[in-house]
Amino acid sequence: MMGKWWRQFLPRSAFSQIFLLIACLLLINQIVSYVTVAFYFIKPTYQQINQLIAHQVNFLFYDGVTIDRDNLTVVDALNNKIRQDDMKVFNLQQAQRAGVERATYYSTLSAQMSEYLGGNAEVRVDQGKHFYIWIKPPQEPSVWIRVTLTSFNEYELSPLTLYLVVIGALSVLGGWLFARQQNRPLKSLEKAAISVSSGNFPPPLPLQGSTEIIEVTNAFNQMSHSMHQLEQDRALLMAGISHDLRTPLTRIRLASEMMVKEDEYLKDGIINDIEDMDAIIDQFIAYIRRDQKPNLQPDQVNRIIQEVAQAESARCDNIDLELADCPEVPMAPIAIKRVVSNLVENALRYGNGWVRMSTQHLPDRVGFCVEDDGPGIDPSQIENLFQPFTRGDTARGSLGSGLGLAIIKRIVDIHKGKVVLTNRPEGGLRAQVWLMKKPRVD
């Protein structure tokens, strides 16, 4: 473990790891390219330039320096012997004014120049507005010779710089394309997995990418197909059972209607049991419906709340409404009405006859809330209540099939919303549902 501490600093995602690998290879490539070009292109070029300049300096001092009455100094005499405009001789003071102090001393060039001139020479390079090479010759240490290299222009891109820029840009572009190509199947796989987890079953993903990614994609396609088949079999089984149960229930109800008056109490109990069983079957059918893409249309939450309150007023006259000014939001009205009806049904079933329905409006969402005054629920059981066939038996009785809240959560999830259950401080349960003004697109 101690030898692998460095791994914690490595990136986690495949895209970052691939890009880091390519960046390291690019850096090594740039260093090798620079060293190669410097030693096999730039260094020989400067040596050749240094040698040519040395030949010119030797030629300048070949026959000595003659001072006559027209040439009062060594500098004047040397300048008279120069037949080209890119070379000029300065004394020490003139050289300082001309900028020799700004020039950079190069020991390698100085050693080469000393070898070519047969004495201790000094070479400096000035890369200002112009490219100057300053030489202090051993034949006359009191002067500086300046050579102007007009072919060197700082405003022009050197071959080395151009080479490194092109290679670097192509390497980065190639690395980005390679990492993107490798990461694209993983992104598709991620989206498909999220889709399957929400109940949708996309078509098989194309087999592309590396061998490992192709194997993972193929395994995912097989898993998705198996889950889809299992879901279809489950839905068919549940629908078949629900359908087959309704036939004997209908017969039992017809038989109960033919009972004599003396058995009226028994008849009412049988009819109530049949209605409960029929409601449970309706919940089974509602739960196995996989309509994951409802036709969303703008509608008012307040309108649905008022319709449910009016429908339930016949059996409960203690329903409080607190409706805020809410805008329209995209929804499937029938599905949302089923959510409100199920929440009100639970409130009436487990409460003490009081229900409050309210709406809320936030900048990015609209919500509605259903509260009751019942015993509430153990907080440790709240999350489990959204699972199918789960009931809060210990706190709120054992009526129903345990599918009501599972159906509610499924509908809210389809709308990309959120449902939260909390206990009221005054006692009872508070069910809060939020619907987004602009549902997320997966």
CATH of the domain at 297: 3.30.565.10
For residues 26 and 153, state if they share a domain: yes
For residues 264 and 341, state if they share a domain: no
Are the C-beta atoms of residues 366 and 435 closer than 8 Å to each other?
yes
The structural domain count of the chain equals 4
For residues 302 and 331, state if they share a domain: yes
Query: Looking at residue 393, what is its pLDDT?
Result: 47
For residues 85 and 200, state if they share a domain: no
For residues 409 and 279, the model is more confident at 409
The two beta strands, 365-372 and 429-436, are antiparallel
Are the C-beta atoms of residues 22 and 167 closer than 8 Å to each other?
no
Query: Looking at residue 302, what is its pLDDT?
Result: 92
Domain range for residue 195? Answer: 162-232
Tell me the average pLDDT of the chain: 77
What is this structure's pTM?
0.47
> b/e for 401-420, b at 16 or more Cβ within 10 A?
bbbbbbbbbbbbebbbbebe
Mean pLDDT of 339-360: 89
For residues 208 and 253, state if they share a domain: no
For residues 181 and 132, the model is more confident at 132
State the pLDDT confidence band at 305, using cuts at 50, 70 and 90.
very high
Are the C-beta atoms of residues 382 and 429 closer than 8 Å to each other?
no
Range of weakest confidence among 271-275, 348-352, 358-362: 271-275
For residues 170 and 62, state if they share a domain: no
Q: Would you state the torsion angle of the CA atoms of residues 407, 408, 414, 415, taken in this order, to the nearest 10 degrees?
A: 160
Q: Please indicate, yes or no, if residue 116 is contained in any of the structural domains.
A: yes
For residues 370 and 409, state if they share a domain: yes
Q: Please indicate, yes or no, if residue 5 is contained in any of the structural domains.
A: no
For residues 275 and 191, state if they share a domain: no
For residues 318 and 342, state if they share a domain: yes
For residues 53 and 121, state if they share a domain: yes
Provide the CATH number for the domain around residue 248. Answer: 1.10.287.130
Please determine, for residue 418, whether its predicted confidence score (pLDDT) is greater than 70.
Answer: yes
Query: Looking at residue 301, what is its pLDDT?
Result: 92
Query: Looking at residue 370, what is its pLDDT?
Result: 93
For residues 191 and 164, the model is more confident at 191
Q: Please indicate, yes or no, if residue 98 is contained in any of the structural domains.
A: yes
Mean pLDDT of 177-198: 78
Mean pLDDT of 418-437: 91
Last residue of a domain, which of 114, 131, 160? Answer: 160
Spatial distance between the Cα atoms of 315 and 322, rounded to a whole number of angstroms: 20
For residues 28 and 151, state if they share a domain: yes
Q: Please indicate, yes or no, if residue 1 is contained in any of the structural domains.
A: no
For residues 138 and 88, state if they share a domain: yes
Mean pLDDT of 333-357: 87
Residue with tokens 């190669």: 36
State the pLDDT confidence band at 20, using cuts at 50, 70 and 90.
confident
Q: Please indicate, yes or no, if residue 200 is contained in any of the structural domains.
A: yes
Rounded CA Rg of the chain: 45
Q: Please indicate, yes or no, if residue 128 is contained in any of the structural domains.
A: yes
Spatial distance between the Cα atoms of 134 and 125, rounded to a whole number of angstroms: 6
> b/e for 85-111, b at 16 or more Cβ within 10 A?
eebbbbeeeebeebbbeebeebeebbe
Q: Please indicate, yes or no, if residue 319 is contained in any of the structural domains.
A: yes
